[in-house]
Structure 1
Amino acid sequence: MDSVIRNDASSMRVGIIAGSGSLPLALATALQVDGKDPYLLLIEGEADPAQYKDFSHEVIRITKVGRFLKALAREKCTHITLAGPVKRPNLKNLVPDMEGVKLLARITGASRKGDDGLMRAITGYLQEKGFTIIGAHELASDLLVPSGQLGKVSPTEQDDADIAAGVRIVKAVGALDIGQAAILRDGYVLAVEAAEGTDGLLTRSAAFAWDKRAGVLVKLSKPGQELKADMPTIGPETVTLAAEANLRGIALEEHKTLILDMKEAIRRADVAGIFLIGLDPESGS
């Protein structure tokens, strides 16, 4: 992978706070290939330790913030990236340490502002502790969706109309901090992403699939989203689920969306006969 962080390689060490999914492993691998030695803090119950046996790591409960800070300091981490989704914890059942109490006080207030407010509270807290927050896209720029058509299949005029309508819908729900994606079919809003995430949205939408391919998935960042901590992400499995839902294709925001294993995602799209494109939601292209 082509990392965009190449200066100060000797002094910068990245700590990856790893949730579930493939993104933390992809970032750790990208850093390792680039000659760096990342340190991974695996959130208990989210990241699978077996996947990280080739990297320096430890497993920590999400509320033990003091342990997070001590581990990052001990390992001389200067930069932190938050990677992979984490289920919102039930605050009533948590037993935090002292640093956890301080952070949870902020999280409780930020949670009223939705997921983006929550991520801003966490990143702000870590920055106050002296760490630099770095985005996944800054560590592995080749994961970013480029502009235009990615595979062999092109959208039709009806697809273009659905994409344009989808952009308007996703901007609206994003402004309310509800979700990042929607599925449009022949001008009809089939489904909007909520807490289940994009793959869950596609699984739910498969029940409404037509016999012929129709409809598009549109996925954008939310207005003002904290992209260094929470950038929209899909992977090859997302493409497979879109094909199983009998959609025509997927439209993603260019330069603000990550695709894990982009070559495989494009290959699956081509095999399934669906399109995969990067678009500028402000220009509609």
Structure 2
Amino acid sequence: MMAAAAARADRPPASQASGPVAIVAGSGRLPLLIVEALERAGRPCRVLAIRGFADPATRRRADATVDLLDVRGALDTLCGWTPAGVTLAGAVARPSPAALLNTLAAYRNRETLRSLASGGDDHLLRGVLALLEEHGLQVLGVRDLAPGLMAPVGRFGALGPDEAADASVAAGRALLASLSPHDVGQAAVVASRRVLAVEGPEGTDRMLDRARTLARRPLGLGRAPAAMVLVKRAKDGQDLRVDLPAIGPRTVKRAAQTGCIGIAVGAGDTLVLDRAETVALADRLGLFLLGLPPDPEPAP
């Protein structure tokens, strides 16, 4: 046992400054957008695709594939690459209790998975981070690797908010700040000072569906409340290496269908996927896009 402990102590860290960036890829376009940004910068990278979640294009680019619940297999692969850093990109679904009970990989890793799945999303992500760091892997965020994907401060479409929309944005921003300690969602739909919906575990798309119903727009008919906006921002204290709010063309389309006249997001902490397409679609549908600067520091 002492010899084994000594061998572990002598083992070099899994992360190496000269190694590739390892991208653990879930669903969506983000993993390949990061690959493109790294390749433009001349940085080597490897992709570990999560089976059943990574898109076909991502799987074709992947250097290896692993099951969602095969923690040991994922760690062995990542450590074997001796990466300069690891980033988690793309969406995955929280494993169900049935999956935890019936998957062989989950059985082998049942104590780790039981711990990770025992709390809210923030607890889960913190657990994943701790697990990677315990194995000597440095976790990097999208902001470190592809800062050009983040929302800028100010207007980044052709349109801007009017006074009424500014009031809605301010109300939504204050609401989300007040909810930050409670591990609630990252988005809300607000009309003037009336809160129509707050994002929960169902995600932004389904929240927008609820807001559309509550705004009394059956089948898309009728008039939406005045100055209705979607506000999306990171929670205070959120670890932005692994959990970033994001918008893209689908968000713009859904917000327009809900009756929103604009979208306001946290600048520097919100991803804008396929920005050119997102901005062009917002302009065409008559929505403003606004990047909100960080909240001012409280006075001492």
Q: 1:255: which partner in 2?
A: 268
Partner of residue 93 from structure 1, selected from 99, 108, 122: 99
Cα distance in structure 2, aligned partners of 1:66 and 1:99? 8
Cα drift, residue 11 of structure 1: 0.8
Q: Given the alignment, which residue of 51, 54, 65 partners 1:44? A: 51
- What corresponds to 2:211 in structure 1? 205
Alignment of 1:3-14 (within 5 A): 11-14=18-21
Structure showing greater radius of gyration is: 2
After superposition, the Cα gap between the structure-2 partners of 1:206 and 1:227, relative to the gap in structure 1 and judged at 3 Å, is same
For 2:3, the equivalent position in structure 1 comes to none
C-alpha contact 2:71 2:109 (8 A) present in aligned 1: yes
Residue in 1 aligned with 2:82?
A: 76
- Take 1:261 and 1:76, find their aligned partners in 2: how far apart are those partners? 31
- Please state how far the C-alpha of 1:127 moved relative to its aligned partner: 0.6
- Structure 2 distance, partners of 1:274, 1:283, is 27
| Structure 1: runs of 5 or more not aligned | 1-8
Letter in structure 1 aligned against 2:97: L
Query: Matched residues in 2 for 1:281 and 1:32: separation?
Result: 30
Residue 160 in 1 paired to residue 169 in 2? Answer: no
Match in the other structure for 1:218: 231
Q: Which amino acid aligns with 2:47?
A: L
Residue ranges of structure 2 left out of the alignment (5+ in a row) = 1-15
TM-superposed CA distance for 1:22, in Å, is: 1.6
- Do residues 19 (structure 1) and 41 (structure 2) align? no
Secondary structure of the residue aligned to 2:130 is helix
Give the superposition deviation at 1:172: 2.5
- Residue 107 to residue 256, structure 1, CA distance change in 2 (3 Å): same
Deviates more, 1:255-264 or 1:126-135: 255-264
- The residue type paired with residue 236 of structure 2 is P
For residues 214-266 of structure 1, the C-alpha deviation after alignment (integer angstroms, 9 at most, x for no partner) is: 40001111121111011111112111111121211000011111111112211
Deviating above 6 A after TM superposition, structure 1's stretches of 4 or more consecutive aligned residues are none
- Asked whether 1:28 is paired with 2:35, we answer yes
Deviations 1:105-147, CA, capped at 9 Å, x for gaps: 4314xx32x2112101101110110110000111100011111
Classify the secondary structure of the residue corresponding to 2:63. Answer: strand
Note the 1:185-204 alignment, pairs <5 A.
185-204=191-210
Distance 1:169 1:56 in 2: 40
**Is residue 2:66 matched to residue 1:60?**
yes
Contact kept in structure 1, 2:168 and 2:192, CA below 8 Å? yes
Shift of 1:102: 4.4
TM-score normalized with structure 1 length: 0.88
Does structure 2 conserve the Cα–Cα contact (< 8 Å) formed by 1:14 and 1:79?
A: yes
Between 173-182 and 32-41, the greater mean CA deviation after superposition: 32-41
Query: Deviation digits for residues 191-234 of structure 1, max 9, x if unmatched?
Result: 11011211222233233345256400011111211110111111
RMSD: 2.3
Over residues 2-48 of structure 1, what are the superposed CA-to-partner deviations in whole Å (9 max), with x where a residue is unaligned?
xxxxxxx9813111111112211211221222223322121122112
**1:265 alignment partner in structure 2:** 278
User: 1:279–1:16: structure 2 CA closer, same or farther, 3 Å change rule?
Assistant: same
Percentage of identical aligned residues: 39
Q: How does 1:128-139 map to 2 (within 5 A)?
A: 128-139=134-145
User: Normalising to structure 2: TM-score of the pair?
Assistant: 0.84
State how many pairs are aligned: 273
Question: Does the aligned pair in 2 maintain the 1:16–1:41 contact within 8 Å?
Answer: yes
